[in-house]
Amino acid sequence: MARLIAFREALREAMSEEMRKDPNVFLMGEEVAEYNGAYKVSQGMLDEFGPQRVIDTPISELGFAGIAVGAAQNGLRPIVEFMTWNFAALALDQILNTASKMLAMSGGQVGCPIVFRGPNGSAGQLGAQHSTAFESYYANIPGIKVISPSNPYDAKGLLKAAIRDNDPVIFMESEVMYGEKGEVPEEDYIIPIGKADVKKQGRDVTIVSYNKMMKVALGAATELEKEGISAEVIDLRTIRPLDWHTILESVKKTNRLVIVEEQWPMCSVSSEIAYRIQKEGFDYLDAPIRRITAADAPLHYAPNLVAAALPDIPRTVKLVKEVMYV
């Protein structure tokens, strides 16, 4: 039976359920315990699991990421919450040089089952140092998986899968989505990592997106429908591994592809999708692949500049019409 719960509640349920099942799972990060989490994702978890499994850390991302990686290599399953992925740049050494490489460097003897999670990307007027989208950064690293969900149902099912996974997983959320509600079943469920979801069926053009840009993609599809253009909308959900098959099968049907993402354009997720689809699906394309990304610049504080820098529904509609009438 489904209930309507907030995104943060879906994440909390995923962590709590997995911690009840497996005593090796624990949560650590800044303000996750006494303060109930910077965004109240871990609210009440300290009371249930105690300070040995819900652990407040110093303001030292490199330090507590290193502790968690060591714990994972010794049989535990840490969940590390970063207050923002912008701050997690300080912990990149542990993610890149230890967590992602240990299985290969040890000849398969030492794994690192760990989840690094927290908010990612822009969240309004937070300034350039708090507004970077990092999916393509981490998707560039072999040995880890990257998840970026767009709704509470997917967030819970994918986080549970991430906690159970034996590889390091990067789990990217959005501050602006924590309060958004969606239907989530009461019963236990898992969403497989690496499987995209067709959120809307269509026949004329494929729109691919993920995370909070799915609102833009679905909003554009609704507007296009009013003008007789039927858009198929795909939510990637997982950035690494990417579900190429679902995108390609959609392009075989619609013959057109538009990608909407919050990344900067250089070496982005859309760059990789465009290359792969033109390589494997060129004969099915009736128009060039197009994309809309964030502006190739740091995100400023002023609200008009934030709006100008990020993808929106009108610009996405305009881009789709360009590929329809090329």
Residues with a known catalytic role: 61, 130
Q: Report d(CA 167, CA 225) in Å as an integer.
A: 41
Tokens of 298: 């740091």
Runs of H (alpha helix) within the chain: 7-21, 45-49, 61-73, 92-93, 102-105, 135-139, 152-164, 213-225, 244-254, 269-281, 303-309, 313-324
Q: Report d(CA 36, CA 113) in Å as an integer.
A: 24
Question: By the 8 A CB rule, do 77 and 122 touch?
Answer: no
117 C-beta neighbours (distance < 10 Å), count: 27
Q: Of 163, 57, 61, 173, which is closest to residue 114 (Cα–Cα)? A: 163
Q: Which residues contact 289 (CB under 8 A, 6 or more apart)?
A: 257, 258, 259, 273, 274, 277, 278
Q: Of 143, 156, 140, 120, which is closest to residue 69 (Cα–Cα)? A: 143
